[in-house]
Amino acid sequence: ETGVTQTPRHLVMGMTNKKSLKCEQHLGHNAMYWYKQSAKKPLELMFVYNFKEQTENNSVPSRFSPECPNSSHLFLHLHTLQPEDSALYLCASSQDRGSGTDTQYFGPGTRLTVL
Amino acid sequence: RKEVEQDPGPFNVPEGATVAFNCTYSNSASQSFFWYRQDCRKEPKLLMSVYSSGNEDGRFTAQLNRASQYISLLIRDSKLSDSATYLCVVNMDSSYKLIFGSGTRLLVRP
């Protein structure tokens, strides 16, 4: 619908598991983002990639590891997560990260539960 | 003080009512302002940008008050389908970084 897809939509994992979230955008955008949305909290920016280069790491713990192989794909690799990492993880894209007026288009999110 | 602050609500209004939300921001150097809408268990979607002169899109009117550092969203003739959480979003420095408020929940009842 929005041109940004995410898989899986739901994920339950144990603290010792390793999993990856995938995001793909079909909009021809150059910038991609990972956000975390916890219950009753505002969206928190985690990572930004522009033209495949990471331009922002918003003090995210190393148990979250992003990967951007090309401008259309973005991954978030997860390992040894904590229960407090349970949240909705949203991917977004925009034309270019340089303009404050660029609209960011969000994917449907992956709802992650860490047991 | 939070960078972007909103009343969480919920605002519970009957169909056809007019409802208004305010949002305050802390950084006077903020450049761009937006309202996003987020339905339950869905992703945020841009509702409208907010311009200095104010702007209107159908039943929705957004206004910016730089002196008092707040933006507002007015919804006229509320529909059941307007029930959602409305996110106030501020761009601080004309870069990519958007600061989101926690959202204001609107419930429109029949």
Residue A1 pLDDT > 60, yes or no? no
Q: Is the peptide bond before B110 cis (omega within 30 degrees of 0)?
A: no
Question: Which residues is A53 bridged to in the sheet?
Answer: A50
Question: Which residues is A57 bridged to in the sheet?
Answer: A47
For B37-52, what is the mean pLDDT?
91
B45–A100 C-beta distance less than 8 A: no
The predicted-structure confidence for B56-78, as pLDDT tens digits, reads as follows 999 999 999 999 999 999 999 99
Chain A: nearest CA to B31, how far in angstroms?
A: 7
pLDDT value of position A99: 60
For A23-47, what is the mean pLDDT?
92
Residues of chain B with C-beta less than 8 angstroms from the C-beta of A56? 96-97
Q: How confident is the model at residue A54 (pLDDT cuts 50, 70, 90)?
A: confident
- More reliable by pLDDT, A96 or B106: B106
For B36-53, what is the mean pLDDT?
91
Residues of chain A with C-beta less than 8 angstroms from the C-beta of B99? 42
Reduced DSSP (H G I as helix, E B as strand, rest coil) percent helix, strand, coil of chain B, to 5: 5, 55, 45
Q: How confident is the model at residue A55 (pLDDT cuts 50, 70, 90)?
A: confident
pLDDT value of position B23: 96
Chain B: nearest CA to A80, how far in angstroms?
A: 26
Chain B: nearest CA to A97, how far in angstroms?
A: 5
